[in-house]
Amino acid sequence: MATLVTGGAGYIGAHVVRTLQERGERVVVVDAREPDPGRNRDAVVRRLDLLAPGSAEQLRTLIIDEGVEAVIHFAARKRVDESLARPVWYYEQNVGGLAAVLAALEGTAVERFVFSSSAAVYGSPEESFVTELSPTRPINPYGRTKLIGEWMLDDAVRAQSFSAVSLRYFNVAGAGWPDLGDPETLNLVTIVLDRIERGLPPVVFGDDFETPDGSGVRDYVHVVDLAHAHIAALDQAGEPGSHRVFNVGTGVGTSVFELLDMVADVTGRRFETEVIARRAGDPAAVVARTERITAELGWRAEHDLRSIIASAWEAHRHARDHGPSA
């Protein structure tokens, strides 16, 4: 028995791979990137582009040969700005990639499937706190590809008789191991740490939102908690033919200014901040309601903002001193 993790070389995927391995499970990783032995040590790693001709057949062979019974699908593109510039390519990558993986499951023993969805499916919600029943109105191609992925799973679980869970991630940050930090500077936490390290002021995108201090409010969730949510989803897969959707957040909103205060406190660095105009498309506040995942999977976030920032900072310095994944 093994678990297949697509995109297992990525930031969140690598955390889930290592967490599964710590439980003594056999993990098979497929990733389009060059295998990185540091990030995925002790896993079977295959380089595979899900969009390449014949990928579904290759993946099916791998699943059968390795005795895979569960799949966690991370492999996808995740940049909102890029999705606006290259929407069709995003649909190809994210929707096409998922279709290839689901096609590969046909005729295999895979019974359980976990899909990386996103709070981006909610778009710019009218209510700051969102439940899984809040309207799904994504406002960019990235968010739409995730919602389409959920719809595809609704249909596929019924026809193919496996069970699926979609996890709608809120703002993921932090590191479970210093060598597994987020190597990209695409989200607030990594952007801020990178800037203060380089002696540059963090930039605040707008201080005129309808929030207590005027800056944007989000729900920051520790990547270790997120990894545990995947394990809970795998362990408590529903009936064959079921597809359940869960928010994965903390239920606590943090503003950009609050986060910057925590960064100053944790790092001991003093820095100026620069407030500029709002970024196009940014909602004022998006925070998860997490009752469903707690009730149905018994999961709740264990780590607070301090732990997120402290672990991200440790990983940031580790990458600076040792290279990204040494």
Among 2, 68, 175, 188, binds ligand WQD (CB under 6 A): 188
DSSP secondary structure of 77-107: ---HHHHHHSHHHHIIIIIHHHHHHHHHHTT
| 252 binding ligand WQD? (CB under 6 A) | no
CA dihedral 222, 223, 227, 229 (to 10 degrees): 40
Whether residue 163 contacts residue 235, with contact meaning beta carbons closer than 8 Å, is answered with no
CA distance 294 to 158: 25
Angle at CA of residue 223, ends 221 and 226, nearest 5°: 75
**212-231 binders of ligand WQD (CB under 6 A):** 216, 218
Q: Is 83 in the site for ligand WQD (CB under 6 A)?
A: no
Question: Based on CB atoms, which residue is closest to ligand WQD, 136 or 171?
Answer: 171
Nearer to ligand WQD, 90 or 162 (CB): 90
Tell me the residue number closest to ligand WQD, measured at CB.
216
**59 and 74 in contact (C-beta within 8 Å)?**
no
78 binds ligand WQD (CB under 6 A): yes
Structure tokens at 122: 């909610």
The beta strand positions in the chain, using DSSP E, are: 2-6, 26-31, 44-47, 68-73, 112-118, 129-130, 163-169, 171-173, 203-205, 217-218, 220-222, 243-248, 254-255, 274-276, 285-288
Binding range to ligand WQD, per CB under 6 A, among 66-74, 155-163, 183-191, 318-326: 183-191
- Looking only at the bridges linking them, the beta strands covering 243-248 and 254-255 are unpaired
Catalytic residue among 122, 142, 169, 220: 142
Residue 89 or 205 having the CB closest to ligand WQD: 205
Residues 153-172 touching ligand WQD, rule: CB under 6 A, are 171
For residue 142, indicate whether it is catalytic.
Answer: yes
Cα 32 from Cα 250, distance rounded (Å): 31
- 38 residue type, one letter: G
Nearest distance, CB of residue 2 and ligand WQD, angstroms: 26
At 301 the three-state DSSP class reads: coil
Q: How many residues bind ligand WQD (CB under 6 A)?
A: 16
Q: How far is the CB of 23 from ligand WQD (least distance, A)?
A: 25
Query: In Å, how far from its chain's centre is CA 110?
Result: 22
Report the residue from 205, 296, 304, 317 that binds ligand WQD according to the rule CB under 6 A.
205
Residue 187 is a binding residue for ligand WQD (CB under 6 A): yes
Instruction: Decide if residue 181 touches ligand WQD (CB under 6 A).
Output: no
Closer residue to ligand WQD, CB minimum distance, 3 or 211: 211
Query: What character string, x for contact with ligand WQD (CB under 6 A) and - otherwise, covers 258-287?
Result: ---------------------x--x-----
Binding region for ligand WQD (CB under 6 A):
78, 80, 118, 120, 171, 187-188, 191, 203-205, 216, 218, 256, 279, 282
Q: Catalogue the active-site residues.
A: 142
